[in-house]
Amino acid sequence: MSDEIVKIRDKVHEHSSRIAVNETNIKNIQTDVSGLEENAKKVVWIVITFVVVGVLTFVFKGGF
């Protein structure tokens, strides 16, 4: 009986360790995603800036 309890306790400990590792991995992924969101915002603003500058240059040089 006590051997079964020890096995169950060991299994619970093993699973709780895995859960802790998974939670850490999720936090790391969330940090990476927030960093990617910041980079995406920067890229969008750079693209918008180039498009606006290109359109203004085209208009002021008398395009078409």
Q: What digits encode the pLDDT tens for the residues 8-60?
A: 998 998 888 889 889 999 999 999 998 899 999 999 999 999 999 999 999 88
Model confidence, pTM:
0.54
Q: Which residue has the tokens 């890229």?
A: 43
Distances (CA, A) of 19 to 10, 15, 16, 24: 14, 6, 5, 9
Residue 25: count other Cβ atoms within 10 Å of its Cβ.
10
Alpha carbon 51 to chain centroid distance? 27
Q: Residue 62 is inside which H or E element, if any?
A: none
Q: Residue 26 has which token pair?
A: 């999720």
